[in-house]
Amino acid sequence: MKEYEWLSNGPEETSSFAQRLADSLEASDVILLEGDLGAGKTTFTKGVALGLGIRRNVSSPTFTIIKEYQGRIPLYHMDVYRLQNASEDLGFDEYFEGDGVTIIEWAHLIEDQLPEEYLAISIFRIDDTQRKFVLKPVGHRYEILCEEIFS
């Protein structure tokens, strides 16, 4: 399976990268974000929100699990850290198949409930300002998306 690597030299670069990706996103796209605390998952998500034309401030939905924002298309921002291997069905499918883009921080914690196809992004902290992004498209739609972004 093809993987794409990209190096970010600061939060602003991460944001512009995410904004550019946002231009290509469509309804029912799902992005999984992995990376330690402080890797840049929320920074990336804020960039996507900007790119979707969302004006409200996007903060980590630590206490709510899911937050919805209205932009060109809706953004469903999930942070499932608090769930810690939830096995019960929490109805995520309605979001995944909905009118918006879903971004899930700590997605592996709900791996039983993830859709079949998605774009998985892992963020690795290199030093204070550098991050390595590894994008792994799963499914045809996301392969096309990655080709678009990296062409």
Residues that bind ligand ADP in the complex, under the rule CB under 6 A: 8, 10-11, 13-14, 35, 37-43, 129, 131
Structure tokens at 68: 């919805």
Residue 14, contacted partner among ligand ADP, Mg ion, none, CB below 5-8 A by kind: ligand ADP
Nearer Cβ to ligand ADP (11/139): 11
Q: How far is the CB of 144 from ligand ADP (least distance, A)?
A: 25
Nearer Cβ to ligand ADP (61/100): 61
Angle, CA of 109, 13 and 61, to the nearest 5°: 35
Q: Which residue is nearest to ligand ADP (CB)?
A: 40
CA dist 138 and 84 (Å) reads 24
The half-sphere exposure of 23 on its side-chain side, counting CA atoms within 13 A, is: 7
Q: 46 with 58: CB under 8 angstroms?
A: yes
